[in-house]
Amino acid sequence: MFATAARADHNIHLVGGTVELLIDTSAGYPIIAHWGAPVSRGNSLDLPALLSGPVPHAHLDRPADAGALRDPGRGFHGRPAVRGHRGSRAWSTLFELRSIESTDTDCQFQLVDAAAMLSLSLRYEVLPEGVIKVDVQLTNDGDDAYTLDELSSWLPLPDRAAEIIDFSGRWLRERQLARRPILPGIALREGQEGRSGHDYTIVQCASTAGATFARGEIWAMALMWSGNTRHMVEQLPTGRKSIGAGELLAPGEVVLGPGERYTAPTVVALHSRAGLDGISDVAHGWLRSRPQHPTRVRPRPLTLNVWEAVYFDHDLERLSALAEVAASVGVERFVLDDGWFGARRDDHAGLGDWVVSPDVWPDGLRPLADRIRSLGMEFGLWFEGEMVSPDSELYRTHPDWILRVDSRIPPTARNQLVLDLSNTDAYAHVLEQVDAVIRDAGVSYIKWDHNRTLVDPGHGGAPAVRRQTQAIYALFDELRRRNPGLEIESCASGGGRVDLGMVMHADRFWTSDSNDPLERQEIQRWTSLVIPPELLGMHIGPTISHTTGRRHSIQFRAITALFGHAGIEWNLLEATDDERAAIRDWAVFYRAERDLLHSGRVVRGDHGDPAALVHGVVARDRSRAIFAYVQKSPAQGSVPDTFVLPGLDPDAVYRVSSRDFGGAPAVQHRPPRWMAGAELTGAALGEIGLRPPIVFPEEAILVVCDRIPG
């Protein structure tokens, strides 16, 4: 992969991977002429000729492209990038270019609106993996305050963009596909929970009509932010379309004094001409290239979390017995969840008092932690440091340390309030208490929860979501600085804070509180569109799901949990010998294959029957691949549709076989011959496909493909 930049006359083009960004500055301000597949071929294009068009009746006499900032002063009637005011002044912007600085990988524009007394820095960077990063800073050059209402980043969409693909959801059903046509007006997705939320889309896509996983063109935009957010797709009366994203600011949240500056969260843009899987290729390649990416440090350890095993019922003898069984089946990390601190015997008390409870742990956590380490496992611990229980020593001592509006106490949720981490004393309290526990018990991993939305999130009378978000980033970074090697899992009632901002400060996401493998199919499928699977916690839950009451085979649960950072959320003391043997077999397979699972190309089959799903991971050299065929509900036909295995080398021959854990799923009559082993070309597997067995609904088949040398 490569990244280059060039400038000729008023043209700027940045190229990285399979994307090119063309910017025209001939009008005295930056106009995005193109972003997508490379088109210049190293030549200087006549961008004004490409951008010019006819003048319709009842428009401006000399219509002009409003540019990257969509200035109203240029006659733009859509949503501008900058919205704000000085009382009744400076509410309409008209930015002019003052300077350009270009390197081989980025271009930075300095712009000024002299009348509004504002200056703006706009930077585009194209990374070698094909990601476009957009960074914007706005400075108040005036002598009085400027109230900023919005600063968003926008990119134009070509006329062939026809559909919006994004995701909605709720607790236990995060990232559910939402697909609709682009229509006149603005399609607006806002998150106002104070965290990204269970309804958060992570990325918003525009696509050509009918785009699939393998086909069609996609333009996507995502926000690197964990607070309140806004994603938009707009179509003007002229027919022109654009996509934008930015932080959602509460009224008065950002008021810039003279000389003060607002830095917007970074926006990333992704492009693919190979369908939705192409977006995954770009996003995963970018995130995996980071020096701090967890798999660049070591393999992802198989994790047991004890929440659904013991809940608040903590007991050293019982947990030690559970740890022994966990070690015997191949668990590498043991995580103690809620209930170890303060007066936390249920969810009505104790949050904020991050000291080990002498009632439950009279000798502290060291005896359990040492026992876990003696069994060859790491010790992890649960915190929810942004919250406080009204029934806690902290709240009784410092009731003023919560986010609130004036003296009004917000309603509780999960019997808790939210600590104001922009209060330096509250921040220091959480940091020091958590750090002390980590050091004392030798904790190498923390699961950090965030179990409620924010209501009236104010500090000193002003909105404070932005400052709260910056504080949790700082706190995570400081904990890691003080405790080298510490890993942090971001959990928010499951998948309520999974975003491209938190991915820069945490090592893992708890994908959902639902361990039901049927629900997990769609949740994991779409969460991994931009988040690499090795960052997504995927666990084998109990036989009967704690959240849906469904009963599922060990085979279905194990295959579902395999394709991410695998783990277990189950009281293994209650598992049968056969179930433990199946988990042991699965754990051996996971450890042997995690390098492939956590580095390979994620692919998803475009299957004709909505009753089934196909997904897999293909090694970068295409020498090996692992796929899952999932029968969600009864097949439409008496003989199920074939399923193709995408991403293989069409010219290679593969040995294909099935793999099971704890006994193959019940197959009606007889299984297809390939399940016992077959040799087939990658072309045949990708074009003709395999006929699945007839299995009961809510089951899965694991398919392993090995390229035959020669």
Give the Cβ contact number of residue 574 at 10 Å: 12
Amino acid at the residue 335: V
Is the alpha carbon torsion for 543, 546, 352, 348 positive or negative?
negative
Dist CA 115 CA 605 (whole Å): 55
Q: Do 699 and 668 contact (CB within 8 A), yes or no? A: no
Give the Cβ contact number of residue 186 at 10 Å: 14
Amino acid at the residue 700: A
How many CA atoms, within 13 angstroms, populate the side-chain half-sphere of residue 652?
17
**449 catalytic, yes or no?**
yes
The end-to-end CA distance of the chain, in Å, is 28
3-state secondary structure at position 386: coil
3-state secondary structure at position 49: helix
Instruction: Report phi then psi at 431, rounded to 5.
Output: -60, -50
Active-site residue among 338, 513, 585, 660? 513
3-state secondary structure at position 303: strand
Give the Cβ contact number of residue 120 at 10 Å: 23
Active-site residue among 24, 449, 585, 649? 449
Q: In 571-698, where do the E strands start and end?
A: 601-604, 612-618, 624-631, 653-659, 678-681
Q: Do 384 and 347 contact (CB within 8 A), yes or no? A: no
What pairing do the DSSP bridges indicate for beta strands 417-418 and 387-388? antiparallel
Consecutive H or E run containing 585: helix 577-597
Q: Do 388 and 400 contact (CB within 8 A), yes or no? A: no
Dist CA 499 CA 245 (whole Å): 13
Where would I find the H helices in 289-423?
307-310, 316-329, 366-374, 393-397
How many CA atoms, within 13 angstroms, populate the side-chain half-sphere of residue 583?
30
Instruction: Report phi then psi at 297, rounded to 5.
Output: -95, -45
What pairing do the DSSP bridges indicate for beta strands 333-336 and 378-383? parallel
Burial letters 604-638, b for 16+ CB under 10 A, else e: bbebebebbbbbbbbbeebbbbbbbbbbbeebeee
Per DSSP, the residues of 531-572 read S-GGGEEEEE--SB-TTT--B--HHHHHHHHHSSEEEE-S-G
3-state secondary structure at position 491: coil
List the one residue out of 132, 143, 113 whose CA is nearest residue 219: 132
- Residues annotated as catalytic (active site), given as ranges: 449, 513
